[in-house]
Structure 1
């Protein structure tokens, strides 16, 4: 018996294995060359732990109330504390909408190290458009050396219309001595008998008159005439119209009123002061402006 067939089979198997090893080595060559060309493994980006934290720390920076109940007013609180070793002073609470009217607890503005504080914003649901809403409040403060700004956000979903107030805000630009008038309208889409029992102005320069309620097939609406006196102080001021109703879900509704009085004089670029009455002859007197939601 000869061993030649057996040896041929062994040689064939060896050739197959060598061919397979050559293919594997060829596939690994790019990786081997890359490893040889890399002097060391790249280091990750170092983290800078020396950057100081802001002086104020807030309990929560974002609030999501989701869908709110059909009530007249929603209050959103934000609490904070001074975690620095320096006293801080709140300079301004700047909301994305003036209707929010943020207010510091106790009107306190200065906070020593370790002390706590809180402010609230309020949403009058009757003045908001139904659907998802996003609001922000920029908290501007200083530690005596640096001015900081922290932005807080909150979301909510206003349910479908039931009681609405239009417009949600009133703007008056009183640049003459002629009285200005506009209108607020409280509309109830629920089919209930809501009545406006009182409307109060927080400034003597704005007067109010409740008109008779208007009834339709699916809603009722009460107009309120808002009048601004011909003479108001120079500069800008913010006030509110407080509307009281006999409805337990909407007992009080507040509407912001922004009033701009004419300046005492207008300064021209040449440096010559001209009395406002002369400037009015060149510029028509604007009427009350109403801002939508």
Structure 2
């Protein structure tokens, strides 16, 4: 019986891994197609799309599309801008949203239930529906910087960052995770005289790695893929992000597909690097249901 049970467990484990490998292959295929297509001339790229050759480095392989893409657009500037804007937004969002969630979960103040309900209601409002009012507001907001006092945030990094620092989804994720943290740790810290700021920094945040990774990945993907808002508020080439840069390759009748694939391959690298750096914590957040005290 023990041998039969062990065989059944082995079969189940093998079937599970087979399904996971199949799912991984399905997700990897678009990336593989993109990378392989970026090495081929347009005519071969299009002719290979009806066969498995589209996923293989066969035919006339070269880096010409990459060289042509860098000549067509300042790709390095676009990638730098996107990484800068996305990185700053993620860091600020993690701090602001986790702090707001901490106040909702651990602090007792009047009206927090109603305000949290209003916050959740904002999740059904698409960002695109508020872009026009936000654009009008951003064009009239004052700012004091190194150049002195000025009116308007257009054509700046701050207009791409500040409107997206706080969002309902990230706060909701932190709230749900914080609710599962052992209250005994919080109460013991408070009994010993720790301030709420100390509890937030030294007790809550060190236990929140999974939700921090989850919120960071979701915010990174949202910010890195921004297109409509930067297109509306940024006209200066030196601060444009990568998605707006796609217009350099598609603004014509004959689209250079090889260069487009090269550009997409280049701008995908920061996303993969960011995800892989947080992969372990992200998987832990999906696999776990909370911290048990």
* Structure with the larger RCO, 1 or 2 (CA within 8 Å, 6+ apart): 2
Q: Answer whether TM exceeds 0.5 for this pair.
A: no
**TM-score, normalised with respect to structure 2:** 0.21
Richer in helix (by share): 2
Richer in strand (by share): 1
